[in-house]
Amino acid sequence: MEYVLRTNNLSKHYGQFKALNGLTINVPKGAIYGFVGKNGAGKTTLIRLICGLQYPSSGDYTLYTKQNHEKGFDKIRRRMGAVVETPSIYLEMSAEENLKQQFCILGMPSFDGLKDILELVGLSHTGKKKAKNFSLGMRQRLGIAIALAGHPDFLILDEPINGLDPQGIIEMRELILKLNHEQQITVFISSHILDELSKLATHYGFIDNGCIVKEISSEELQMACRKCIHIKVSNTKALAQILDQMKLEYKILSETEADIYAKVQVSQLALALDKVNCTIVSMQENDENLESYYIELIGGHKNV
């Protein structure tokens, strides 16, 4: 698999405080990578390191095939665009003027493609309207337009839907999907709005106390959160025999626990198990989502 970003044992210390503590992640090319963690877990610190706003205390990271300490790395970083914390925009300028300013900062030879970017982010209709009069959603999309000025194929977004109203959230979601699907831009999203992130992400990285707790694909997450009956019995070997006879899908977790991925007639199952001297201890329906999976993974903290 080809990766856009890989970190290797990356650490960032502020005195005795370890904002990142040996963090290792892998962002596949073409992914929408959801970076999940509670406030203070290290999400923004990682983004600031990757964007070159700060330097790691130890460890390294790779963009495409070049490590951060190699010669010519700054040139590779130009393939990346980012909106860190709040969009960097000039409030007294229009969307087009903001974008022209960014083109000049990047040393672009002309303004070719400027209007295409405004069209892409849904701001082509704003004319001479100053950014200070934009809605929060429009300012966020202008920030993304500025990040796209250098035609990156890797985009980093730090809490892109924070504070947006429902319509703004929908517009941001559609824009991110469009950038990923139509422009083939790999997107790295730090977000604490897990329900919305679950509608976008193809891969997830869960961070806690500066360390990666788990990386998982959306397909793996769907399997982990799949609706099932969690059953505890005296003997799962006997349970497996009965479930095979009933042609029900299941997964044995231990000598006494299993998950059944089907509707179960409890009385029928209990009678069948009794015939093979197997007793049901408990049964519980599980139907996790991303939020409950995260809380279970991190250990019950709800301050995402």
In-domain check, residue 195: yes
Domain contains 113: no
Is the same domain home to 177 and 64?
A: yes
CB contact at 8 A, 117 and 94: no
Model confidence over 205-241: pLDDT tens digits?
999 999 999 999 999 888 777 788 999 999 999 999 9
Compute how many other C-beta atoms are within 10 angstroms of the C-beta atom of residue 52: 13
Tell me how many domains the chain contains.
2
Beta bridge pairs of residue 232: 257, 282
Question: pLDDT tens, 233-274?
Answer: 999 999 999 999 999 999 999 999 999 988 888 999 999 999
pLDDT (average), residues 66-78:
90
Tell me: do 75 and 159 sit in the same domain: yes
The CATH number linked to 158 is 3.40.50.300
Using 50, 70 and 90 to split pLDDT, how confident is the model at 192?
confident
HEC sequence for 213-244: EEEEEHHHHHHHCCCEEEEEECCHHHHHHHHH
Q: For 151-172, how does the pLDDT look when each residue is reduced to its tens digit (9 = 90+)?
A: 999 999 998 988 888 898 999 9
Determine the distance from the C-alpha atom of residue 49 to the mean position of all C-alpha atoms in its chain, rounded to a whole number.
18
d(CA 301, CA 249): 32
CB 43 within 8 A of CB 33: no
Determine, yes or no, domain membership for 31: yes
pLDDT of residue 237: 94
pLDDT band at 302 (very low <50, low <70, confident <90, very high): very low
